[in-house]
Amino acid sequence: MQKRKLGRSNLEVSALGLGCMGMSFGYGPAGDKEEMISLIRTAVERGVTFFDTAEVYGPFTNEELVGEALAPFRKQVVIATKFGFKLDPDTGKQAGLDSRPEHIKQVAEASLKRLRTDVIDLFYQHRVDQDVPIEEVAGAVKDLIGEGKVKHFGLSEAGVQTIRRAHAVQPVTALQSEYSLWWRSPEKEVLPTLEELGIGFVPYSPLGKGFLTGKIDENTTFASSDFRNIVPRFTPEARKANQAFVDLLTMVAEQKKVTPAQLALAWLLAQKPWIVPIPGTTKLHRLDENIGAASFDLAPGDLREIDAAAAKINVQGARYPESLDKLTGR
């Protein structure tokens, strides 16, 4: 597996990371713990060194899973986790945002214990909290870095104003936001800003929450606890309309003798050398398929062909319900 550096920082990771959320949360029932531990450890054996989790995934259970799985390999891997949600102490459910400095420090201590480590490699603010100036957030993480509890500061779904203000207080190593062939909003302002400031980019949902694999169609049914049930882009009507996107990927992938998922990931890797996608999976064959995307390159002509064809397709449906879309920053 090739390595990449996140921006101008010294944080070097595998070209593809592993998003661990779906092992515990979000896409239906949690996976079997021992199977998920085995999958994470297999990823390490395959050369993956970058693992993504958050306190809110579960909540808490995903950090515990990742911590247990990676304990034997701690020195050779990079673990990213996140703070910024307020969790109901009785139910553990999300109850708004909380990026107050004292809360950030409490979350860091709890995450360190769950992750079985003495330092968090990359600590993201999960969503921008409009009630707490980003300078205070960056200052709190700067303190944690000074104490040796955190190595790098990250933001998630932040806009360019927030990125600049945070970066002026504590250099931002990486931004994690959704980015894929069917959600290209970061290209307008965010990617140029990251390039200017030397910040790495970590696309989540690089396979469009599974849709770009070609394994989901208008007739697919999701488990009752799968959050795609409330995503406008995943209504049966939207899936039917968006099939044109999968058809395009499938056509080009067949020419290249790769899978649609591999093509979608290779496309992201080709955009910038400081982009590190974090596809998630609970299946070993999907892990191997995703890793295969790092072993071939798309030529400039391939990229132009894909972009020209994609530009003619109008993706149907919002990427989040309105209540969640409000949590993206300016």
Per the residue annotation, which of 57, 124, 179, 204 is the catalytic one?
Answer: 57
Active site residue 57: yes
Provide the 8-state DSSP code for 21.
Answer: G
Nearest residue to 123 (alpha-carbon basis) of 107, 134, 135, 136: 107
Question: Contact 82/156 with Cβ under 8 angstroms?
Answer: yes
Sign of CA dihedral 66, 92, 277, 257: positive
**Strand 150-156 relative to strand 120-125, pairing:** parallel
Sign of CA dihedral 210, 213, 219, 221: negative
Residue 59 preceded by cis peptide, ω within 30? yes
Question: Contact 269/201 with Cβ under 8 angstroms?
Answer: no
**Strand 150-156 relative to strand 94-97, pairing:** unpaired
Q: How far apart are CA 301 and CA 307, in angstroms?
A: 10
- The residues assigned a catalytic role are 57
